[in-house]
Structure 1
Amino acid sequence: MNNYIPERAMFIFAHPDDIEFSVAGTAAKWASHGCENTYVVITDGNVGSHEPGMTREQIGQIRRQEQAAAAKVAGAANCIFLGFDDGSLEPTLTLRKKLVKLIRKHKPNAVVCGDPNMFFRGERLNHPDHRAAGRAALDAVFPASEMRLLYPEFEAEGITPHKVNFVYVVTDENLNHYEDVSESLDTKWLALKAHKSQIGDKDYSDRLRDRAATIGKQVGLAYAEAFRRFTVTPLPQQNGEKSA
């Protein structure tokens, strides 16, 4: 099912630019083939600046604007900000409930998120917000989003339980799924460029291309993004699924 294109997908990540650095190739590819992508950005990245005089409010607003622009470049249908503070994210029940409501409302077939158990990325430490966001996303997907008796108050708004089909976890371990992003790698770079407050004048195009080439080489693709994919609810055998 490497050619599977979801009808609807939700990308749940901690910070503005997390999607662009990691999975925007997959997001842009799916969008170009008709997938309705919803980005959920949990924090505003409002401590993500070393610039003297910059306030949390200012950087938070800048980063929202940059993320909205990046989402537009990659063809996302929705870009939702939850407004949590950067640097202190926890996988709380409050956050889980917000994510469950969004999953039930937008009804994604696929949810893409980070690995809650990944403390290291190669030679670098992984941000604790990334782990917290991954934990919150997975806890919201299963079983919370599909349990009718959990958060019944949502039904008064016409928001009903929903079963997600697949979860795509961004990780370095136990990889079992590779998305061919040869057609969308340039779009990924254009989306990342929207995050001017973070990358400045640096050219990350070679870095993105080299990483995608390294991943792709493992499975005979020119460029790829890798995931550990879980089936939560199998697709019906006759579902008319889209292919790339």
Structure 2
Amino acid sequence: MTDPPARPAPDPLPPLPEDGIASVLCIVAHPDDMEYGASAAVHAWTRTGVAVDYALMTSGEAGMAQAPEVVGPLREVEQRAACRAVGVRELEFLGHPDGMLEPGLALRRSVARVVRRHRPDVVLTANFEVEAYGGLNQADHRATGLAVVDGLRDAANPWVFRELAEVEGLAAWSVGALLVAGHERPTHAKAVAQEDVDAAVASLHCHAAYLAHVTGHPAPEDFIPELLRAGGEAAGAEHAVALRVHDLGGLGSRDRS
């Protein structure tokens, strides 16, 4: 009996097409959601002149043992420090209740509003599959991702949320692509340098109170570099952020007005 033929090695992940990307808007549910690897890509962008902004659905106020009125401001402070570590231009907290997000009109309107206000070339969000990160994904992550998918369409449609244009003066805007970080089936990779890896580790360290709250949480330097090294192996690079890319018809194009 002969051994079965060896499976061919998978093709390396292609690089993210970045021609024309001058601005990125990251929309996630909580403080620290960007800091589990994706912030390395943010630092790689910002150090080369790409403007990166963050919009967080909540302040993460329900994520620790203390009362939300104490935790929310604390986590906002930590997130601001994390943003400084990787060069984020602007951080917004959209004010939705932590732990109770629903992917309905309120979240879609928030996404459409912030996209029309920032007018980014691409939007990045976190994995919103039901099964993710080795278990069942958290409800706010799922709700945020679905709201981002729908809200990007709403941002481009002048007849949805008409008050955004008629009252707030926010004209429709089409985003070129949606990037999803942390997905188990990535399609592309953003190569990052050692300085970006170091910045990503530093950005997660900024969430000191939250990390101290999570029992048994590993030190950022013990797993963030390994996570980015795995992305690099998939992409044929030393380190990379693996991304699932949904081209919305304008990846690499600046003219989407």
Instruction: Map 1:67-216 onto structure 2 (within 5 A).
Output: 67-122=79-134, 124-141=135-152, 143-156=153-166, 157-182=168-193, 183-200=195-212, 203-216=219-232
Higher strand share: 1
- Pairing partner for 2:64 from 40, 43, 49: 49
Query: Is the counterpart of residue 232 in structure 1 residue 241 in structure 2?
Result: no
Deviates more, 1:184-193 or 1:148-157: 148-157
Cα deviations across residues 58-99 of structure 1 (Å, max 9, x unaligned)? 001100111111112111111000122221111120111111
How has the CA–CA distance of structure 1 residues 236 and 204 changed in structure 2, closer, same or farther, with 3 Å as cutoff? closer
**Which residue is equivalent to 1:30?**
45
In the alignment, residue 58 of structure 2 is paired with which amino acid?
T
- Give distance in 2, aligned partners of 1:219 and 1:84: 36
The count of corresponding residues between Structure 1 and Structure 2 is 234
In the alignment, residue 176 of structure 1 is paired with which amino acid?
T
- Give distance in 1, aligned partners of 2:107 and 2:16: 31
**What SS is found at the alignment partner of 2:92?**
strand
Query: Is the counterpart of residue 218 in structure 1 residue 234 in structure 2?
Result: yes
Aligned residues of 1:115 and 1:170 also touching (Cα < 8 A)? yes
Q: State the superposition RMSD in angstroms.
A: 2.0
Structure 1 regions of 5+ residues with no counterpart? none
**What SS is found at the alignment partner of 1:222?**
coil
Structure showing greater radius of gyration is 2
Deviation at 1:236, TM superposition (A): 6.6
In the alignment, residue 149 of structure 2 is paired with which amino acid?
L
Identity %: 28
**Which residue is equivalent to 2:27?**
12
Aligned residues of 1:115 and 1:135 also touching (Cα < 8 A)? no
TM-score w.r.t. length of structure 1: 0.89
Deviation at 1:154, TM superposition (A): 2.1
- Give distance in 2, aligned partners of 1:15 and 1:92: 18
